[in-house]
Amino acid sequence: MNGSHQVASGADRNIARQRRFWTRRAASWDHGAGNNPGLVKVVERVLGEANPSTEASAVDLGCGSGQVTLALAKLCRTVIGVDVSAEMIALLLENAAREGISNIEGRAVPIERLKLLDNSVDLVVSNYALHHLRDRDKQVAVNEAFKWLRPGGKLVVGDMMFGRGGDARDREIIGSKLALLLRKGPGGWWRIIKNSGRYVIRFQERPVSMSAWVAIFNRAGLTDIEALPVVNEAAVVRGTKPKPLSTGGGAMN
C-alpha cells in the first residue's frame, strides 16, 4: 500500500460526495442564489476584482448554474465553466441560451481533475466553491491555476473564509453566527449542532481563513496578492501571475 494511492482515494471520495450533494441541490441553488443579497455582493466583488478585458479568456471553477460565469461571459471573449455536477452544467447552458450568450463552454469535471494547457487563459475565478475541496487540493488547484494563466493573468477567489478560531476575525465570525442561530430557538440550536459537526469534522465544508488563502496564493507564486473582506464570513482574494523579468538588451536613452 503506498501513500499516493490513499491520497487519490480520499480525493475521489470527496469528489463523489460533492457531486451527489450538488446534483440534488442544483435546481434550488439555481433559483435561490440570485436572491441571496450576501452572495450577490460577493459575485459583484469577484467580477470587480477580475475586471477582464473584452479579449480575455476566462475559467470559472465550481461555476454552479452560472452566477459568475454568465456575467463574465458578457465582459470577456470566452468563459469555460467547470463544475463537478453535470446537472449544474446543464442549468448553466440553459441559462446562457435563454440570455442569448454563446461564448460559454461547460465542462462537467471536478476541479481536481481539470486539464488545461499551460499559459492558455487570462483569468481564473472561483466563487463559493473551493471551500468544498480538501485543504491539500486547494493548494493543488491554485498551483494548477497559476500554470494555466498567461503571465499577467489573474486568479480571483471569492469564498467563505474563516478558520477555527485562530484569529480575531475568525472569532468574530463564529461568535456572530452562533448569536444569530441561538436567537432562532430550537431550530437554530439544531443547526449549531449540525454545523459544528460539519466544520469540526470538515466533511462537506472546509473553509480556511483569509490569511491561509494568502499563504496558498504565495506558495503558488502569485504576486500583488490582496485579501478583501466582503460581508460576514465572505472575502475575496486576488493575485497575479508575474510577467517574466526582461533580460535586458533594451536601448538606454
Ligand X SMILES: C[S@@+](CC[C@H](N)C(=O)[O-])C[C@H]1O[C@@H](n2cnc3c(N)ncnc32)[C@H](O)[C@@H]1O
- 128 is a site residue for ligand X (CB under 6 A): yes
Q: Least Å distance between CB 232 and ligand X?
A: 15
- 33 is a site residue for ligand X (CB under 6 A): yes
- 210 is a site residue for ligand X (CB under 6 A): no
Q: 7 vs 182, which CB is nearer to ligand X?
A: 7
Q: 182 vs 201, which CB is nearer to ligand X?
A: 201
Q: Least Å distance between CB 107 and ligand X?
A: 9
Which DSSP string corresponds to the chain? --HHHHHHHHHHHHHHHHHHHHHHHHHHHHHHGGG-HHHHHHHHHHHHHH---TT-EEEEET-TTTTTHHHHHHHSSEEEEEES-HHHHHHHHHHHHHTT---EEEEE--GGG----TT-EEEEEEES-GGGS-HHHHHHHHHHHHHHEEEEEEEEEEEE---SSSSHHHHHHHHHHHHHHHHTTHHHHHHHHHHHHHHHHTSS-----HHHHHHHHHHHT-EEEEEEE-STTEEEEEEEPPPPPP-S-PPP-
Q: 86 vs 171, which CB is nearer to ligand X?
A: 86
Rounded to whole angstroms, what are the CA distances from 130 to 55, 127, 221? 26, 7, 19
> Segment 66-105, which members bind ligand X (CB under 6 A)?
67-68, 82-85, 88
Q: Least Å distance between CB 72 and ligand X?
A: 11
Q: 112 vs 233, which CB is nearer to ligand X?
A: 112
| 30, 64, 196, 181 alpha-carbon torsion, rounded to 10° | -30
Q: 83 vs 122, which CB is nearer to ligand X?
A: 83
Q: Least Å distance between CB 113 and ligand X?
A: 8
Q: How many residues bind ligand X (CB under 6 A)?
A: 24
Query: Pick from 111, 121, 181, 216: which binds ligand X (CB under 6 A)?
Result: 111
Q: Three cell numbers at 131?
A: 471551500
Q: Least Å distance between CB 78 and ligand X?
A: 18
Query: Pick from 73, 127, 155, 206: which binds ligand X (CB under 6 A)?
Result: 127
- 239 is a site residue for ligand X (CB under 6 A): no
Query: Pick from 50, 70, 101, 133: which binds ligand X (CB under 6 A)?
Result: 133
Task: Give the whole-angstrom CA distance, residue 124 versus residue 14.
Answer: 22
Residue nearest to ligand X as judged by C-beta position:
64
Which residues of this chain interact with ligand X, rule CB under 6 A? Answer: 15, 18, 22, 29, 33, 43, 62-64, 67-68, 82-85, 88, 110-112, 127-129, 132-133
